[in-house]
């Protein structure tokens, strides 16, 4: 796909947004908040295969249904491991591995596409960090 040619002003605006996001990303923290996703699809397609709306909706539903392991539990505890197994099982059944959050390489192609102002890359990063921790928990079996 060819990228639309930008004029100087548009290019500067885009670069400023990218730089701002890149600087902000490491200091932004906390649990993912993906509940605002309306599944409009404006952020798609992701050229690296992430099914952005499906991932965001899955995580929002998981929070709503109490499926996300309690982050205050020690990662090596049986309770955290059990909850992790449940979450990861449902995650992989709902979304194939090649379309999950960890496939995001921060290419920034989806930046600024969301009408709900969801900072997609940041949320995907938080979900990846959370699922990495859950996978780590499975090593304590």
CB of 27 to ligand SF4, least distance (A): 18
Report residue 15 as tokens. Answer: 């670069």
Residue 108 within binding range of ligand SF4, rule CB under 6 A = yes
What number of chain residues touch ligand SF4 (CB under 6 A)? 27
- Tell whether residue 102 is a contact of ligand SF4 (CB under 6 A): no
Note whether 100 and 4 are within 8 A (CB): no
Please select the residue that binds ligand SF4; options are 114, 127, 134, 137, rule is CB under 6 A: 114
Nearest to 124 by CA among 61, 55, 43, 66: 55
User: Does the footprint of ligand SF4 cover residue 38 (CB under 6 A)?
Assistant: yes
Torsion of CA 71, 33, 119, 42, to 10 degrees: 130
Q: Is 22 in the site for ligand SF4 (CB under 6 A)?
A: no
Among 83, 118, 127, 137, binds ligand SF4 (CB under 6 A): 118
Q: How far apart are CA 30 and CA 10, in angstroms?
A: 32
């Amino acid at each position: 796909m060819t990228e639309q040619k930008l004029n100087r002003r548009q290019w500067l605006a885009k670069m400023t947004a990218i730089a701002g996001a890149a600087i902000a990303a490491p200091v932004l923290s906390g649990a993912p908040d993906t509940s605002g996703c309306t599944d409009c699809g404006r952020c798609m397609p992701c050229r690296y295969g992430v099914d952005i709306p499906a991932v965001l909706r899955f995580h929002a539903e998981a929070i709503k249904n109490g499926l996300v392991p309690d982050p205050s539990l020690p990662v090596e505890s049986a309770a955290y491991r059990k909850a992790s197994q449940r979450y990861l099982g449902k995650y992989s059944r709902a979304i194939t591995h090649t379309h999950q959050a960890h496939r995001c390489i921060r290419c920034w192609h989806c930046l600024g596409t969301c009408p709900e102002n969801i900072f997609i890359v940041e949320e995907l990063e938080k979900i990846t960090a959370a699922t990495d921790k859950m996978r780590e928990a499975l090593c304590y079996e």
